[in-house]
Amino acid sequence: MQEFTKQAIEIMKSIPQGKVMSYGQVARLAGSPKGARQVVRILHSMSEKEGIPWHRIVNVKGEIAMQDHEGRYTQRTLLEEEGLAVEPGGKVSLERYQHFPEYQSKR
């Protein structure tokens, strides 16, 4: 497993309940400032196997970025169950809910 992948997984698993991070934020902390799409691929291929709380990852605007209706609904429901207020368009307040970990990349 690539070091970036390991770091990204560790960062995503550290997001506490009721908080979110953006794809780009995870990528920057894992050592690849332009690696947001890599984070998407990691989530798509490894979230279940690695136990990643995928629903806590949103886009840079705080929006649920999933394209399919079922996925958007599931993510919204999981976030709301954790106490996050999700706007009708599928957006959460980053000002209120964004997680800023002390974690720094080891790269």
* pLDDT tens per residue, range 88-102: 889 999 999 999 987
Residue scoring higher pLDDT (1 or 107): 1
What count of residues does the chain have? 107
DSSP state letters, 71-97: HHHHHHHHHHHTT----TTSB--HHHH
Residue 9: per-residue pLDDT = 97
Share of the chain above pLDDT 90, in %: 85
Q: pTM for the full model?
A: 0.90
The string of pLDDT tens digits covering residues 62-79 is 999 988 899 999 999 999
Residue 103: per-residue pLDDT = 53
Residue 98's nearest CA partner among 18, 28, 35, 12 is: 18
Q: In the chain, what are the domains? A: 3-97 (1.10.10.10)
Q: How far apart are CA 97 and CA 84, in angstroms?
A: 7
pLDDT at 104 over 70: no
